Amino acid sequence: MIILDEPYVSQLLKDTIIEMKLPVLKNKTSERLGFDKYITLLKDEEFIELLKKEETCKIYSNSEISLVWIEDNLGFTDISEKIGLFKDKLRFRKLIESIYPDFSYKGVEFGKLEELDIESIKKPFIIKPSVGFFSAGVYKVSTCEEWKKVLKALTQEMKAIKGLFPVQVFSSERFVIEDYIEGPELAVDAYYSSKGKPVVLNILEHLFPSEDDVEDKVYMTSKKIIKNHLEAVLEFLSNINEAVKLRDLGLQESGLRDFPLHIELRVDKQNRLIPVEVNPIRFAGWCTADIAYHAYGINVHSFFLEGLEPDWSGILDKDEAHEEETDDLTYCLLIAKKPDDIETENIEAFGYEDFISRFEKPLELRKLDYRQYPVFAFLFTETRNSNWEEIDRYLKADLKEYIQIKK
């Protein structure tokens, strides 16, 4: 069963809903997208009644905004409890502390941040809201001197963001201070089956312009990335479910079942996977999850909803006769964001054709209304590793060469 919300519903998800005739909650987003032309949208009470008749509570959403409706309406299920395990980052750290006994963290009230004995805290560390959204309020602190600047910036940011999101999505009341994890960042789309078995649908590596610049610009996947991390990711997911069963949460018997997740992890110096955060009931945001379709023919939405599993051994070992060797290919999602120092109202146009011409094999361009969101487009590409320079060049680019400014 589907709950759609802002900011973005991908075309692949739209097509999947229509083709499978999936039950969709009637709200402003689903009505705006015109789903009522193809399927009957369900009012709140109809959606709830249908869910009560289902043997399992299989909910999928494209956005965490839907958590508000779920908490307000689905108290008769255990889905809110499952969501809370991951959405509250302090609860999540407590859940997995036996798995990572050497990982340090602490919770602190926002009003008591100024009283922290910052010299006693191991550095570098990350501070972030216990219940957060879109990387708001997330800072890295390497020195005591940096802390003063971070605290000032954090305080200003919390004032600016106050009231913009419901408390189920973002809250500035409590923060988590935790170890900073050095190493490559991975993003994983996965779900637990009806029997609690972890199923991995894709593994991405998140590339950053530099160590200090953590802007979302490039996500990539390849057979090599899957081969290197699949076994460890499956073990991580199994450990998480065992931890859920061991906690006194009312979920001991079933654990996590029919439950989708988007996970961000770091690979530390010991080659361990350390979770940064786990996002419940959804896959990678905006249209990032659709890269699995371009790379491996995996529609993550239908795979979860139909309970399908990728044949990773077949995908990774496939010998494609008379075609280019797929081990030499990397699939990327490029996020073309508006530069911060250019005001939206000063933009006349963006050169989409010139932009995609810089890549040897653009697969799909998805344009956005940059006057509504500060993103021009998402571009899926297929890149030979021997031509990786085109991705490196994009990582360093500011996109200003494609922007036409009003006279």
pLDDT in tens, 10-40: 999 999 999 999 999 999 999 999 988 899 9
- pTM, two decimals, is 0.90
| pLDDT for position 322 | 38
| pLDDT for position 253 | 60
| pLDDT for position 251 | 54
CA quadruple 333, 336, 340, 342: dihedral, nearest 10 = 180
Provide mean pLDDT across the span 53-82.
89
For 46-50, 178-182, 244-248, 251-255, which range has the lowest pLDDT when averaged over its residues? 251-255
Provide mean pLDDT across the span 55-69.
88
pLDDT-based confidence at residue 326 (cuts at 50, 70, 90): low
- Domain positions in the chain: 2-85, 103-179, 327-407
Q: Does residue 131 or residue 132 have the better pLDDT?
A: 131
pLDDT-based confidence at residue 317 (cuts at 50, 70, 90): confident
The CA distance from 257 to 74, in Å, is 16
pLDDT-based confidence at residue 132 (cuts at 50, 70, 90): confident
pLDDT cut 90: percent of the chain above it: 63
Provide mean pLDDT across the span 340-364.
94
CATH number of 103-179: 3.30.1490.20
User: To which residue do tokens 């530069």 refer?
Assistant: 339
Provide mean pLDDT across the span 59-88.
91
> Which tokens go with 184?
């490559």
> Which tokens go with 69?
């409706």
Predicted confidence (pLDDT) at residue 119 exceeds the cutoff of 60? yes
Q: Are strands 329-337 and 347-350 parallel, antiparallel or unpaired?
A: unpaired
In angstroms, how far is CA 75 from the centroid of its own chain?
25
| pLDDT for position 44 | 97
The CA distance from 295 to 59, in Å, is 26
- Tally Cβ neighbours within 10 Å of residue 359: 20
Provide mean pLDDT across the span 223-236.
96
Predicted confidence (pLDDT) at residue 320 exceeds the cutoff of 70? no
Mean of pLDDT over the chain: 89
Predicted confidence (pLDDT) at residue 163 exceeds the cutoff of 70? no
Provide mean pLDDT across the span 272-281.
93
The CA distance from 298 to 187, in Å, is 16
